[in-house]
């Protein structure tokens, strides 16, 4: 079954253009099923195997509901692939009840915390520092996913119109506004290096395109130099971008377009965050809110 799971991942890479991060997650999720049934042939997968796998996931301590659902989603996609390839006749995932998906609020920084983050580090404007600032400014300014940021080329930013062209999930292209602060940081960074249109926007020490892991490391190093005592990932900056727009009255469909969400339902989670902010403002502002 491991051979077929590897072929499945190759199929996803070729037909869906998934990011390396997504492919690694799918591989890890499927590996859990392969390890549980090492000698099981793909054609012999039955509902009893799927049910037992799900039961094991639910028994394991510390597994988040989202992780369980993601592993089952990976297994469901794998089964669909096997059936389309003629390697499995039945549908063993059909009718298997799944735990309900929770709707946790996204983690984000307040506007003051974001300002604190961008005020560091101090010191001379080295090429590395200019790159790091441009990177963080751009993520927060445009709400880009980390895979979208590292795949940018120099020609993808239009300084005249103040926009960036992004290829999101499934290679879907969208154009997103870029703020003046991010444009200024990008100009300062690119001023000291070659930047032909087809060259990677962000590079590592070797001069090659920055990796996902490299981006996470850069942000982690930047956060350590700040006064913030929080775990901040690139996705937290993306959530902060969306939350701050919603809090300042931006239309939800505009936020959906900028984030590259296919479904408006995905974007609606930020309305809950905005409502919390609205209640806060009401409590502080209305003369009879606490009477």
Tell me which residues are annotated as active site.
145, 169, 235, 238, 261, 270
Closest alpha carbon to 87 in 45, 43, 44 = 43
The answer to whether 154 and 187 have CB atoms below 8 angstroms apart is no
CB atoms within 10 A of CB 236: 21
Cis peptide before 141 (omega within 30 of 0): no
Q: Taking phi first (over 0 means left), then psi (-120 to 50 degrees means alpha), and beta for anything else, what does residue 207 get? A: left
Q: What is the C-alpha to C-alpha distance for residues 176 and 39, in angstroms, rounded to an integer?
A: 49
Residue the block writes with tokens 């996204």: 106
**99 — phi, psi (to 5°)?**
-65, 150
């Amino acid at each position: 079954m491991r051979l077929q799971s590897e072929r499945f991942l190759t199929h996803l890479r070729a037909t869906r253009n998934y990011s390396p991060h997504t492919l690694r997650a799918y591989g890890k999720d499927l590996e859990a099923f392969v390890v549980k049934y090492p000698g099981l042939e793909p054609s012999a997968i039955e509902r009893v195997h799927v049910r037992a796998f799900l039961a094991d996931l639910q028994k394991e301590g510390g597994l988040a509901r989202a992780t369980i659902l993601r592993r089952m989603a990976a297994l469901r996609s794998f089964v669909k692939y096997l059936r389309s390839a003629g390697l499995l006749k039945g549908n063993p995932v059909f009718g298997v009840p799944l735990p309900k998906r929770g709707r946790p609020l996204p983690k984000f920084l307040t506007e003051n915390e974001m300002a604190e983050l961008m005020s560091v580090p101090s010191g001379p404007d080295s090429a590395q520092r200019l790159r790091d600032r441009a990177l963080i400014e751009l993520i927060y300014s445009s709400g880009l996913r980390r895979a979208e940021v590292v795949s940018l080329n120099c020609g993808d930013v239009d300084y005249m119109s103040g926009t960036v062209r992004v290829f999101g999930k499934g290679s879907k292209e969208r154009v997103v506004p870029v703020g003046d602060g991010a444009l200024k940081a990008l100009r300062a960074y690119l001023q000291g290096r070659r930047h032909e249109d087809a060259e990677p926007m962000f590079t590592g020490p070797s001069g090659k395109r920055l990796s996902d892991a490299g981006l996470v490391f850069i942000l982690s190093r930047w956060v350590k130099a700040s006064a913030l005592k929080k775990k901040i990932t690139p996705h937290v900056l993306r959530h902060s971008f969306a939350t701050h727009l919603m809090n300042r009255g931006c239309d939800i469909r505009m936020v959906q377009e900028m984030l590259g969400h296919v479904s408006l339902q995905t974007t609606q989670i930020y309305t809950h965050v905005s409502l919390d902010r609205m209640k806060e403002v009401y409590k502080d502002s209305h003369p009879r809110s606490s009477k």
